[in-house]
């Protein structure tokens, strides 16, 4: 027995030492990796320069979330199983890379390797325009996929040749949007969402009080989807030489059921296996059948030697700067964090650009569904002050609605993509009443003491009185009046004109142009061109705001604050959006200037 315990304890000690050593080694590797990544991130402009070989193809895959601004966080979307980041370049670097590839003698053409795209409609539009601009060089674009979604086909249609796997399919059915309504679930839980709003189209609150869309909401949805689909079919028709009427007929009849039909109807040029595609690429490169195809990924190409694509090659870099301020995410007070735009962070960025004598113009890139009315007003004030000092041009991304439009309306000019979702000039307040849930479901009761009549007006454990509803409604009406007043001043309209197109109604960029909410259709590049002209600049450099955080700080924030979202996103996949909508119910309170809907393109 003594011998048994001797060996048992020896085994335990050995196991313990092994675990400790393994842990120490793992920690050394982990922190060594962090150090390496931080060092790489800290180098900024001294990032590793990727070498591009002569006679190469630019290989483009867009199977990752495409943000307006590329991240400098080396742990963004980091895959610990492969020790590689899955993060790709943002829209800013995608466009710059395509501009560079257009004149890069080493790049002979582009291979669009498309299956899925995780980006909004306006993002796809800007990439498509950049691809069309690339083709002006006389270089070719070839696309290939096993499955073209409507989003990937929209991009692929610019190609000189669109190829499809023999077992593949082209999705072509038209757009749709599906809303989730919580009214019955909230009733089962005995939770009342007390709504105070201005605007019959301000339908962000409808999921809490209705079981289906209101007539007004259905009307705006139909306009949005039909305008976006019309823009898409117009672009595809021009590229593929197929009439818009024919494209709609194919969608209505769900004609495209397999690869052969897709070819017969002219949506694709040929049906190829992957080896046959590679043979086509070799023909394009004029190399032998057994020669290796030289290619560079978009991610690596974005790290290749870059001159500013907005400055002619022979010109020297200028002291003149155009500041591009990225204002992305739901609007809240405080500092920006993850997918939230903080009024403090953006206000500071606008102020810094305004006070910098080298910054001659500002481009405010807005991609936001709105949020806090107060936070929106704080940023609006900084835009007004900046406009007094230098030209301010707004570039709208996928969404610039409600609070997103609020912070945009004071600019000298507003540029939007055709498929940008904007407007939503309206205000609402949400105060949950969970008294029924606590009393009837959980057996929890409340009692309170107060010094004044309305000291407990914002309690979520009692219903509002009629008088309290009137008090909050007055506040909502004042904020709405302030909103339309500021839009009227910024857009050179009367309050009555703004109110007529306001009421919380959402518009696409195309329709917003017709009613005077935006000045021009175009992307970020067009906004920069207008800023250059407005500031009367011959040459300039671009500088991004808000200034980047320290890489280590960003890594630690990523590791600590976003773990739950990343785990749930990985687990739930595309269904995570429904979980997030449910979560948003508990977070919506107070007076909001937020867009009522989310539209996705599949």
Local confidence band at 83 (pLDDT 50, 70, 90 cut-offs) = very low
Residue 431 has pLDDT above 90, yes or no: no
| Predicted local distance difference test score (pLDDT) of residue 229 | 95
- In this structure, the answer to whether residues 520 and 427 fall within a common structural domain is yes
- Residue 566 resides in a domain: yes
Among 72-76, 107-111, 219-223, 448-452, the range with the most confident prediction by mean pLDDT is 107-111
284 and 151 assigned to the same domain: yes
Do 297 and 328 lie in a common domain?
A: no
Model pLDDT, residue 601:
46
What's the pLDDT tens digit per position in 327-385? 999 999 999 987 899 999 999 999 999 999 999 999 999 999 999 999 999 999 999 99
Is 450 part of a structural domain of the chain? yes
When mean pLDDT is compared across 169-178, 194-203, 508-517, 585-594, the lowest value belongs to 585-594
- Is residue 302 over pLDDT 90? no
83-92, 147-156, 245-254: segment of lowest average pLDDT: 83-92
The answer to whether residue 407 scores a pLDDT higher than 90 is yes
**202 labelled catalytic:** yes
- For 257-297, how does the pLDDT look when each residue is reduced to its tens digit (9 = 90+)? 999 999 999 999 999 999 999 999 999 999 999 899 999 99
Average pLDDT over residues 64-83: 65
Q: Which residues contact 587 (CB under 8 A, 6 or more apart)?
A: none
Please report whether residue 462 resides in a domain.
yes
- Name the residue with higher pLDDT: 555 or 520: 520
**Which CATH number fits the domain that encloses residue 267?**
3.90.226.10
Any domain includes 311: no
The question of whether 328 is a catalytic residue gets the answer: no
- 5 pLDDT band, cuts 50/70/90, is very low
Three-state SS for 91-157 is: HHHHHHHHHHHHHCCCEEEEEEECCCCECCHHHHHHHHHHHHHHHCCCCEEEEEEEEECHHHHHHHC
- Which residues in 329-349 are b (16+ Cβ under 10 Å) and which e? bbbbeeebeeebbbbebbbbb
Tell me, what's the pLDDT at 429?
A: 83
CA distance 493 to 498: 7
194 in a domain, yes or no? no
Q: What does the pLDDT read at residue 430? A: 83
Do 132 and 91 lie in one domain? The reply is yes
100 close to 110: Cβ distance less than 8 angstroms: no
Predicted local confidence at residue 137, as pLDDT? 95
Q: How confident is the model at residue 88 (pLDDT cuts 50, 70, 90)?
A: confident
Q: Please give the tally of structural domains in the chain.
A: 2
Query: Do residues 561 and 339 lie in contact, with contact meaning Cβ atoms separated by under 8 Å?
Result: no
The answer to whether 505 touches 199, Cβ cutoff 8 Å, is: yes
* Mean pLDDT of the region 7-13: 48
Q: Name the domain boundary from 241, 273, 301.
A: 301
Residues 506 and 564 in one domain: yes
- At 409 the pLDDT is 97
- The reply to whether 294 and 336 lie within a common domain is no
Of 173-182, 408-417, 489-498, least confident by mean pLDDT is: 173-182
Examine the domain organization and report whether 350 and 278 are in the same domain: no
Same domain, 297 and 344: no
pLDDT tens for 520-540 read 999 999 999 999 999 999 999
Domain shared by 276 and 420, yes or no: no
> Same domain for 494 and 588?
yes
Residue 573 lies in a domain: yes
Considering the candidates 402, 408, 486, 532, report the single residue annotated as catalytic: 402
Catalytic residue among 102, 202, 284, 419: 202
- Report pLDDT digits (tens) over 12-38: 555 555 555 555 555 555 555 555 554
Range of the domain at 507: 321-594
User: Are 228 and 122 a contacting pair, CB within 8 Å?
Assistant: no
The band of 63, judged by pLDDT with boundaries at 50, 70 and 90, is confident
Query: Which residues touch 130 (CB under 8 Å, ≥6 apart)?
Result: 94, 95, 98, 99, 525
pLDDT over 90 at 582, yes or no: no
Residue 572: pLDDT band with limits 50, 70, 90? low
Pair (434, 574) in one structural domain: yes
pLDDT of the residue at 16: 52
Same domain as 449, residue 369: yes
Question: For all residues of the chain together, what is the average pLDDT?
Answer: 84
């Amino acid at each position: 027995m003594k011998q048994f315990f001797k060996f048992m304890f020896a085994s335990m000690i050995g196991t313990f030492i092994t675990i400790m050593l393994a842990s120490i080694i793992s920690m050394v590797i982990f922190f060594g990796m962090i150090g390496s990544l931080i060092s790489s991130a800290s180098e900024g402009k001294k990032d590793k320069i990727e070498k591009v070989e002569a006679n190469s193809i630019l290989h483009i895959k867009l199977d990752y979330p495409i943000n307006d601004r590329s991240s400098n966080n080396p742990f963004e979307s980091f895959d610990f199983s492969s020790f590689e980041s899955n993060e790709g370049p943002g829209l800013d670097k995608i466009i710059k890379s395509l501009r560079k590839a257009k004149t890069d003698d080493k790049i002979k053409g582009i291979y669009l390797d498309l299956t899925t795209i995780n980006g909004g409609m306006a993002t796809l539009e800007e990439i498509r325009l950049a691809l069309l601009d690339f083709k002006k060089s006389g270089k070719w674009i070839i696309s290939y996929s096993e499955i073209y979604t409507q989003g990937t086909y929209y991009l692929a249609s610019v190609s000189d040749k669109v190829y499809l796997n023999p077992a593949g399919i082209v999705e072509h059915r038209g757009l749709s949007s599906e809303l989730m309504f919580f009214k019955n679930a909230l009733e089962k839980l005995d939770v009342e969402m007390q709504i105070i709003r201005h605007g019959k189209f301000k339908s962000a609150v409808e999921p809490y009080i209705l079981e289906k869309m209101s007539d007004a909401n259905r009307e705006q949805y139909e306009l949005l989807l039909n305008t976006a689909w019309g823009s898409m079919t117009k672009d595809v028709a021009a590229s593929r030489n197929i009439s818009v009427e024919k494209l709609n007929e194919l969608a209505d009849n769900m004609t495209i059921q397999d690869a052969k039909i897709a070819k017969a109807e002219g949506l694709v040029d040929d049906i190829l296996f992957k080896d046959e595609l590679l043979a086509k690429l070799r023909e394009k490169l004029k190399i032998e059948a057994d020669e290796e195809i030289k290619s560079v990924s978009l991610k690596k190409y974005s790290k290749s030697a870059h001159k500013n694509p907005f400055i002619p090659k022979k010109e020297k870099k200028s002291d003149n700067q155009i500041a591009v301020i990225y204002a992305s995410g739901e609007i809240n007070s405080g500092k920006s964090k993850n997918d939230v735009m903080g009024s403090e962070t953006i206000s500071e960025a606008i102020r810094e650009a305004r006070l910098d004598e080298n910054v001659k113009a500002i481009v405010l890139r807005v991609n936001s569904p709105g949020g806090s009315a107060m936070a929106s007003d704080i940023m609006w004030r900084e835009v007004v002050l900046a406009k007094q000092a230098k030209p301010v041009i707004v570039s709208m991304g996928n969404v610039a609605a409600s609070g997103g439009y609020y912070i945009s309306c004071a600019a000298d000019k507003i540029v939007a993509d055709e498929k940008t979702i904007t407007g939503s000039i309206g205000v609402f307040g949400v105060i949950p009443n969970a008294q029924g849930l606590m009393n009837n479901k959980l057996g929890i009761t409340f009692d309170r003491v107060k010094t004044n009549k309305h000291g407990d007006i914002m309690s979520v454990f009692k219903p509002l009185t009629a008088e309290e509803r009137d008090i909050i409604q007055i506040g909502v009406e004042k904020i709405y009046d302030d909103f339309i007043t500021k839009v009227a001043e910024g857009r050179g309209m009367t309050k009555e004109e703004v109110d007529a197109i306001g009421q919380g109604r959402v518009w696409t960029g195309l329709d917003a142009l017709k009613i005077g909410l935006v000045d021009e259709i175009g992307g970020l590049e067009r906004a920069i061109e207008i800023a250059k002209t407005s500031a009367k600049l011959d040459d300039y450099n671009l500088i991004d705001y808000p200034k980047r955080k320290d890489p280590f700080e960003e890594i630690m924030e990523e590791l600590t604050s976003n773990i739950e979202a990343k785990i749930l996103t990985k687990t739930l996949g595309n269904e995570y959006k429904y979980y997030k909508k449910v979560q948003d119910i508990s977070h919506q309170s107070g007076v909001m200037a937020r867009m009522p809907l989310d539209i996705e393109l599949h």
